[in-house]
């Protein structure tokens, strides 16, 4: 693991480089007060420590002689200044007070600007990560698990933001103060200041060693947190199943085990971070102690004056005080680098093909759908979900797919909108390979209703109009009526504006499915895919919806995975599948005469429409 991913992400902050530059200027202005305080220490010490010091007049003469060219302070002004140590120190302290106010204001502006850049950068990275994940192939998301991607988008970007804050806000503030203090110490006496530099390689080695341990533990912590997020999400989303199976204790234990692993990794980080501060502090104090002894020796030998030694040591002490927090901040950056690595791996996943602008658009379906020697296997599966499927479906035909559970019906229909791409073979619409056209132009003419209805938090109006932003309220109402959903919608106090809870749990299963059917009707698709779309609807409602679908399906190609015998009987053709292959096609009567598997399915699996 290296820091490259972190620094690549950190470049995002350069989008606001003007704010960064302004923040740096404010940081240096704030740090300038430190240098002014150190320089002020010299005349204060001289005034207090030296007998016979004339106070402000003498300080003014020294300024004329050593700092201000051509004696800018006139002799009349010097003569009018009050004498005495108290007056001199008072004037210096008032000047430092003004500088302190300026420095505090500059420090506020630096923090304000730095955090603005950090939060905007994290928001941008989070948006990019989500945009990338939403365009990943479904197979990738299914194999990795959506909760891992969610954890990286939310948790890892937050951790990355902590590193950005440490870098741009806190590290810059401490470094500028440390640089000013160290520069001042060199100006006052460079020999004594230079002797303190021997500590830097040692401190660098310590920080680097500890940082590597923190980075490794952080990587494992983030991975464990993703598992923790997954466990919590699964348990709470499936709370009904958990309760009816009385597995509360099991789920609590599973969560506790993962939580324990998270704690274990966090404790490793704790140890490394706890060691870093004391080690740096110990080394720094030892060096400063040695410098004090060295300074006393120079004073005794007459090489330096007391005020120079004290001011230089004060500068070095302030520089050391600025370096100490940087150790913890560097550890924050190292911890964030683990998050950056995980985000980098996520962003490196190839996007779903078919969104390239160079690809042609698919014209509205009007001729046929052809599965040409199609095979497909899920990641990690021992056997193929589809095996050399060869099938032609004519435009306007209603085809029902039946077969034992796991025979590949849903997988086959998922190839039509390119939710998956076949490992071998092709899917052709009107003779055009769907892999060679823009996927949006393909999916816009397909309506899908599945057994597991997905609704989003919002209103019923939003959910029916999902994917159709141009649809008017009148068209949405018509679609709801066509799906036989208007009766229960109009009975609600807010009608179409009734809020839908997360995952649609505020509605019954049948209500959710009718909303999904209304959504498909509103889409006006050329190809309609119904994957056990009426499984949650009672027989009476199904008969009503069947009349609607019979009318709606005219002029469209309809592909149905059915569980009711009435649906199968209403199809133009029935496709029987088993173990990923098509074993027979025909009408109900033909298959009852020629296909043993269909006979068994018709007797035992296909449910008569009056059985609920």
SS3 of 471, please?
coil
Contact 427, 371 (CB under 8 A): yes
Average pLDDT, stretch 435-459?
88
What's the confidence (pLDDT) of residue 574?
A: 94
Contact 353, 179 (CB under 8 A): no
One-character DSSP codes across 349-414: SPPPTT--TTSPPPPPP-SEEEEEEEEE--TT-SS-SEEEEEEEEETT-EEEEE-STTSSHHHHHH
Find, among 580, 586, 558, the residue nearest to 369 by Cα. Answer: 558
Average pLDDT, stretch 345-363?
89
Checking if the pLDDT of 360 tops 70, the result is: yes
Average pLDDT, stretch 160-171?
82
What's the confidence (pLDDT) of residue 7?
A: 86
Average pLDDT, stretch 333-346?
83
Per-residue model confidence as pLDDT tens digits over 205-225:
666 666 666 667 766 777 777
Checking if the pLDDT of 390 tops 90, the result is: yes
What's the confidence (pLDDT) of residue 223?
A: 74
What's the confidence (pLDDT) of residue 18?
A: 93
Per-residue model confidence as pLDDT tens digits over 403-413:
988 899 999 99
Find, among 160, 230, 196, 199, the residue nearest to 10 by Cα. Answer: 160
Give the whole-angstrom CA distance, residue 544 versus residue 185. 89
Find, among 538, 555, 468, the residue nearest to 479 by Cα. Answer: 468
Handedness of CA 465, 469, 475, 479 (dihedral sign): negative
In the structure, what pLDDT confidence band is assigned to residue 365 with cuts at 50, 70 and 90? very high
| Better-scored residue on pLDDT, 580 or 510 | 580
What's the confidence (pLDDT) of residue 397?
A: 93
530: part of which helix (H) or strand (E)?
A: strand 527-531
Average pLDDT, stretch 392-412?
92
Give the whole-angstrom CA distance, residue 405 versus residue 424. 23
Q: How far is C-alpha 267 from the geometric centre of its chain's CA atoms? A: 24
What's the confidence (pLDDT) of residue 134?
A: 85
In the structure, what pLDDT confidence band is assigned to residue 69 with cuts at 50, 70 and 90? very low
Any idea which of 238-242, 436-440, 462-466 has the lowest mean pLDDT?
238-242
In the structure, what pLDDT confidence band is assigned to residue 375 with cuts at 50, 70 and 90? very high
What's the confidence (pLDDT) of residue 505?
A: 74
Average pLDDT, stretch 223-244?
70
Find, among 471, 530, 526, the residue nearest to 496 by Cα. Answer: 471
Checking if the pLDDT of 44 tops 60, the result is: no
Average pLDDT, stretch 147-175?
81
Per-residue model confidence as pLDDT tens digits over 272-331:
666 665 666 666 666 666 666 666 666 666 665 666 666 666 666 666 666 656 666 666
Give the whole-angstrom CA distance, residue 463 versus residue 496. 10
What's the confidence (pLDDT) of residue 448?
A: 87
**In DSSP terms, which residues pair with 393 in a beta bridge?**
369
Per-residue model confidence as pLDDT tens digits over 579-608:
999 999 999 999 999 999 999 888 876 655
Contact 28, 110 (CB under 8 A): no
What is the number of other CB atoms lying within 10 angstroms of the CB of residue 391? 17
Contact 197, 48 (CB under 8 A): no
What's the confidence (pLDDT) of residue 456?
A: 84
| Confidence (pTM) | 0.72
Per-residue model confidence as pLDDT tens digits over 526-548:
999 988 766 666 666 666 667 77
How many helices, marked H, and strands, marked E, lie in the chain? 24, 12
Give the whole-angstrom CA distance, residue 12 versus residue 163. 13
Contact 557, 365 (CB under 8 A): yes
Domains and CATH numbers, the chain: 4-348 (1.20.1560.10)
Looking only at the bridges linking them, the beta strands covering 398-402 and 386-394 are: unpaired
In the structure, what pLDDT confidence band is assigned to residue 53 with cuts at 50, 70 and 90? low
**In DSSP terms, which residues pair with 389 in a beta bridge?**
374
Phi-psi region of 504 (alpha: psi -120 to 50; beta: other; left: phi over 0): left
Find, among 426, 414, 506, the residue nearest to 459 by Cα. Answer: 506
- Between the ranges 42-51, 156-165, 167-176, 331-340, where is the mean pLDDT highest? 156-165
Name the percent of the chain lying above pLDDT 90: 24
Angle at 119 (CA atoms; ends 115, 125), nearest 5 degrees:
145
Average pLDDT, the chain: 78
Query: Which residues have a Cβ under 8 Å from the Cβ of 170 and sit 6 or more positions away?
Result: 325, 329
Contact 324, 281 (CB under 8 A): yes
Angle at 191 (CA atoms; ends 190, 197), nearest 5 degrees:
85
Contact 325, 204 (CB under 8 A): no
Checking if the pLDDT of 361 tops 90, the result is: yes
146-164 exposure pattern, b = at least 16 Cβ within 10 A, e = fewer: ebbbbbbbebbbebbbbbb
């Amino acid at each position: 693991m290296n820091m490259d991913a972190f620094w690549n992400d950190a470049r995002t902050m350069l989008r606001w480089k003007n704010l960064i530059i302004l923040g740096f200027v404010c940081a240096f202005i704030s740090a300038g007060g430190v240098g002014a305080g150190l320089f002020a220490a010299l005349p204060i010490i001289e005034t207090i420590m030296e007998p016979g010091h004339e106070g402000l007049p003498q300080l003014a003469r020294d300024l004329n002689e050593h700092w201000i060219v051509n004696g800018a302070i006139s002799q009349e002004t010097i003569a009018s200044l009050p004498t005495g140590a108290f007056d001199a120190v008072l004037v210096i302290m008032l000047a430092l007070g003004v500088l302190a106010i300026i420095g505090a204001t500059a420090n506020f502006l630096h923090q304000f600007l730095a955090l603005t850049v950090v939060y905007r950068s994290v928001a941008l990275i989070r948006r990019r990560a989500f945009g990338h994940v939403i365009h990943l192939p479904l197979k990738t998301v299914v194999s990795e698990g959506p909760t891992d991607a969610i954890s990286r988008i939310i948790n890892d970007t937050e951790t990355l933001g902590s590193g950005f804050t440490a870098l741009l806000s806190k590290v810059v503030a401490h470094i500028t103060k440390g640089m000013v203090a160290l520069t001042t110490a060199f100006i006052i006496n460079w020999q004594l200041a230079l002797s303190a530099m021997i500590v830097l390689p040692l401190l660098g080695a310590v920080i680097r060693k500890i940082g590597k341990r923190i980075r490794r533990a952080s990587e494992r912590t983030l991975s464990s947190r993703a598992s923790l997020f997954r466990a919590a999400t699964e348990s709470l989303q499936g709370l009904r199943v958990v309760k009816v199976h009385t597995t509360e204790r099991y789920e609590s234990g599973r969560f506790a085990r993962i939580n324990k692993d998270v704690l274990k990794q966090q404790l490793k980080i704790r140890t490394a971070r706890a060691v870093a501060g004391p080690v740096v502090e110990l080394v720094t104090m030892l060096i400063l102690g040695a410098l004090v002894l060295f300074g006393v020796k120079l004073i005794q030998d007459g090489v330096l004056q007391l005020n120079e030694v004290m001011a230089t040591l004060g500068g070095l002490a302030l520089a050391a005080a600025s370096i100490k927090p940087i150790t913890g901040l560097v550890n924050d950056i190292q911890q964030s680098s683990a998050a950056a690595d995980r985000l980098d791996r996520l962003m490196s996943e190839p996007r779903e093909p078919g969104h390239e602008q160079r690809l042609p658009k698919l014209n509205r379906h009007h001729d046929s759908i052809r599965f040409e020697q199609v095979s497909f296997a899920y990641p990690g599966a021992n056997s193929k979900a589809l095996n050399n499927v060869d099938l032609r479906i004519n435009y306007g035909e209603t085809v029902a797919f039946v077969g034992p559970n796991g025979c590949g019906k849903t997988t086959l229909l998922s190839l039509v909108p390119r939710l998956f791409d076949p490992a071998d073979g092709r899917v052709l619409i009107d003779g055009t390979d769907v892999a060679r056209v823009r996927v949006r132009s393909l999916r816009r003419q397909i309506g899908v209703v599945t057994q597991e209805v997905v609704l989003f938090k919002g209103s019923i109006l939003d959910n029916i109009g999902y994917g159709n932003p141009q649809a008017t309220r009148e068209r949405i109402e018509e679609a709801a009526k066509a799906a036989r959903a208007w009766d229960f919608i109009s009975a609600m106090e807010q009608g179409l504006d009734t809020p839908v809870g997360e995952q649609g749990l505020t509605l019954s299963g049948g209500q959710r499915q009718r909303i999904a059917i209304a959504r498909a009707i509103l889409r006006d698709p050329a190809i309609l895919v119904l994957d056990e779309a009426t499984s949650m609807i009672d027989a009476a409602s199904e008969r009503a919806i069947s009349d609607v679908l019979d009318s709606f399906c005219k002029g469209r190609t309809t592909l149905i995975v059915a569980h009711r015998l009435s649906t199968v009987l209403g199809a133009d053709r029935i496709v029987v599948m088993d173990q990923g292959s098509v074993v027979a096609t025909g009408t109900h009567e033909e298959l009852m005469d020629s296909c043993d598997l269909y006979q068994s399915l018709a007797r035992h699996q296909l449910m008569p429409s009056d059985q609920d």
